[in-house]
Chain A
Amino acid sequence: MTVEASFKKQLKYFELDISFSCAEENMMVMIGPSGGGKTTIIRMLAGLEKPKEGKIVFGDEVWFDSLHHINVPPQERCLGYVFQDYNLFPHLNLFDNAAFAAVEKKEVGELLEVFKIGHLKKRKPHMVSGGERQRCAICQALARRPRLLLLDEPFSALDAITRRGLREELKSLKDKMSFPIIYVTHDITEALYLADELLPVVEGKMDNQWLQKMINREPSTEAVLRAAREPRLTLVY
């Protein structure tokens, strides 16, 4: 199944106007400076925000169509969405969190083992590390058997070493999954490492030059000035 989206929305400082598609077994990495509208795009895909106009189609299902007033609620889109933090429910232990919306409860134990947090399943989220929480959040998203996986800077609150480890695990996981994955990051190293496809987003528009400019560090455009405020990350991996 392929997800195709094309929509517009007026944000505070600019208008978001973008169209893209992501095929199954594909990981599309959306990259760009912070505040460029990446999270808003993801939230619109998830159904948590409404575009002003446009269309989102998943396979042969229409999720959003402003012309025909179609807006499928997030509950019915059947997707996985992992964000930086706050995915897990504080009152539940890791197992119950991962099993929260599981299609098959039996799978949950295996998933936790695959993500190496099987021994922590009785702990509450505040009793484990940030990396372990994000592993659990991915288990939670996968256990519901999503048709599309959205990852919004899932590792950016973690330290560099944990982040690198999880990045590698995600890459190997990707090969086993058949659904499309959309991954948001502002980290170029991460993007180049993970992406099958890159979608550079700058101020709500697709900007294919941005990545090149960032790599060349041409201090010519406003976008680069904005990006300069972000931590520079070496491309040497």
Chain B
Amino acid sequence: MDYLALYVTLKLAVVTTVLLMIIAAPIAYVLAYYRFAGKSLLEALIYLPIALPPTVIGFYLIIFMGPKGFIGRIWEMLTGGSLLFTFIGIAIASVIYSIPFAVQPMKAAFSKIDRRLLESAYVLGLSKKATFFRVIIPNSASGIAAAAILVFLHSIGAFGVLLMVGGSIPGETRVASIAIYEAVEMMNYQAAAMMALSFIPISYAFLLLINKLNEARS
């Protein structure tokens, strides 16, 4: 069994989840509370990764993150290295691939909060930022937890995007889903079976947790 690949998978999932919680919160806040021109266009753009085939996302990421791409060139200027085939590269890919799964539940949780609670906080002297941390976040904790779990599970399952952007470098970009695929390709069914099996309890436990959170919310 390829423990290194399992380790990379978990590391990627944790990094993606943490990053996305920080990135998605302000986006969800804006989508939940502000009205502006082009909002629905922006929202659809954020949810686009759900609708696109992973290989299409992977293709564009290669274009942007490659040595001639916009992001790739900035990265090379800063570090002198390439983004493709690195852990940071697949982390960026994973964040973009999972962004809808973070924004959507968070936005739903934020919109559910009664506006009068926010107004009450403003009248009590809290700035918008303080209200976000003292009122909105604690009152949407279960929605945020659901978002985190969804992102975590979704990034464990990523395959096509990561394969295109990161390839399969052991310890760096070879995640478990890729390792399973390669094991099957090499007719090593026993290794594939072990790794495949290790996914089931993790995913199942997290799904149970999501259902519990949803029950608590309603």
Chain A residues within 8 Å of B, Cβ to Cβ: 46-48, 73-81, 83, 86-87, 89-92, 100-101, 140, 144
B139 at the interface (CB under 8 A from A): yes
Residues of B within 8 A of A74 (CB): 119, 122-123
Residue of B nearest to A103 (CB): B125
Chain A residues closer than 8 Å to B35, beta-carbon distance: none
Measured CB to CB, the nearest residue on chain B to A81 is B123
Interface of B is mostly: helix
Q: Is B185 an interface residue (CB 8 A)?
A: no
Q: 18 A-B pairs, CB-CB below 8 angstroms?
A: A46-B119, A46-B123, A73-B122, A74-B119, A75-B122, A76-B125, A78-B125, A81-B120, A81-B123, A87-B116, A89-B135, A90-B139, A91-B138, A91-B139, A91-B141, A101-B124, A101-B125, A101-B126
Select A75's contact among B114, B126, B135, B139, beta carbons within 8 Å.
B126
| CA distance in complex: A48, B119 (Å) | 7
Q: Judging by beta carbons under 8 Å apart, are A144 and B124 in contact?
A: yes
Beyond the given A74-B119, A86-B116, A101-B124, could you list 19 further A-B residue pairs with CB under 8 A, ordered by the A residue number? A46-B119, A46-B123, A48-B122, A73-B122, A74-B122, A74-B123, A75-B122, A77-B123, A78-B125, A80-B123, A83-B120, A86-B117, A89-B117, A89-B120, A89-B135, A89-B138, A90-B117, A91-B139, A91-B141
Taken together as a complex, chains A and B put the C-alpha atoms of A111 and B156 apart, in Å, by 52
CB-nearest residue of chain A to B140: A91
Residues on A with beta carbons closer than 8 Å to the beta carbon of B122: 47-48, 73-75
* Minimum C-beta distance from A111 to chain B (A): 15
Which chain B residues border A78 with CB–CB below 8 Å? 125
Taking the closest CB of chain B, its distance from the CB of A118, in whole angstroms, is 21
